[in-house]
């Protein structure tokens, strides 16, 4: 199984990328047979979603969609931008077919300057993931600069990140097979 991490920021690499990378590396190291992959949107060119088939964009859009679709579970990380997720992450989500996240376990990692915005990413991303019918871990990880020591996640942050990954992997045990849903089929997929 593949656990895919997506860092939804196009700014230069920073603490959120380090935290997500650390989590994927440490989760893979402790789980036999688990493959991990990281997609950093700062390293990818994703076209604005305009309804064309992904292969027509001539950039990284089709490849990223394929990686998301092939993953067994996801960790989606976003900094707080204007009280919500980044536009780059929303644009990627606008490209994804419903089937790419349907009944797929997902964990959320958010980062902001202060703890005042801790639910901004959570609220907006959960709404979007519900549209897909994704299985989202009930609680997310929210990080601030105080959760890093020397640029690396603190012990408390590491514990929270590991608990998030463990919850995502536990959801994998109850996730239905591809093409099925846990509960009623979301309206978005009824075509």
Q: Assess whether pLDDT exceeds 80 at residue 44.
A: yes
Please report whether residue 186 resides in a domain: no
How far, in Å, CA of 46 to CA of 88, rounded? 8
Model confidence band, residue 30 (pLDDT cutoffs 50, 70, 90): confident
Q: Assess whether pLDDT exceeds 70 at residue 191.
A: no
Q: Assess whether pLDDT exceeds 80 at residue 190.
A: no
Please report whether residue 24 resides in a domain: yes
Polymer length of the chain = 191
pLDDT given at position 144: 94
pLDDT given at position 177: 79
CB crowding 4-38: b at 16 or more within 10 Å, else e = bbbbbbbeeebbbbebbbbbbebbbeeeeebebeb
Please report whether residue 189 resides in a domain: no
pLDDT given at position 98: 92
How far, in Å, CA of 120 to CA of 112, rounded? 9
Model confidence band, residue 166 (pLDDT cutoffs 50, 70, 90): very high
Please report whether residue 104 resides in a domain: yes
| Residue 50, token pair as written in the block | 């305009």
Please report whether residue 68 resides in a domain: yes
Model pLDDT for residues 113-151, shown as the tens digit of each residue: 877 777 778 889 999 999 999 999 999 999 999 999 999
How far, in Å, CA of 100 to CA of 134, rounded? 9
- Domain containing residue 11: CATH number: 3.40.50.360
| Residue 90, token pair as written in the block | 């929303």
pLDDT given at position 74: 98
Model confidence band, residue 32 (pLDDT cutoffs 50, 70, 90): confident
**How many domains would you assign to the chain?**
1
pLDDT given at position 127: 93
Model confidence band, residue 96 (pLDDT cutoffs 50, 70, 90): very high
Please report whether residue 191 resides in a domain: no
Phi, psi of 74 (to 5 degrees): -135, 150
Percent of the chain with pLDDT over 90: 74
Please report whether residue 22 resides in a domain: yes
**Measured on CA atoms in the order 116, 113, 6, 82, is the torsion positive or negative?**
positive
Task: Give the domain extent around 87.
Answer: 2-177
Please report whether residue 154 resides in a domain: yes
């Amino acid at each position: 199984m593949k656990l895919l991490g997506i860092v939804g920021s196009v700014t230069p690499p920073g603490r959120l990328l380090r935290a997500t990378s650390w989590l994927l590396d440490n989760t893979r190291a402790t789980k036999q047979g688990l493959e991990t992959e990281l997609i950093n949107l700062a390293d990818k060119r994703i076209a604005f979603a305009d309804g064309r088939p992904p292969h027509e964009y001539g950039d990284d859009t089709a490849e990223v969609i394929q990686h998301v679709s092939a993953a067994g579970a996801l960790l989606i990380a976003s900094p707080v931008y204007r009280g919500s997720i980044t536009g780059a992450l929303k644009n990627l989500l606008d490209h994804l077919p419903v089937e790419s996240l349907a009944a797929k376990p997902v964990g959320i990692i958010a980062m902001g300057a202060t703890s005042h915005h801790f639910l901004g990413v959570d609220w907006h991303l959960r709404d979007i993931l519900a549209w897909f019918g994704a299985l989202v871990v009930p609680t997310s990880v929210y990080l601030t600069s105080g959760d890093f020591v020397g640029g690396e996640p603190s012990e408390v942050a590491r514990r929270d990140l590991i608990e998030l990954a463990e919850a995502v992997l536990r959801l994998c045990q109850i996730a239905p097979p591809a093409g099925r849903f846990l509960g009623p089929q979301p309206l978005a997929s009824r075509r």
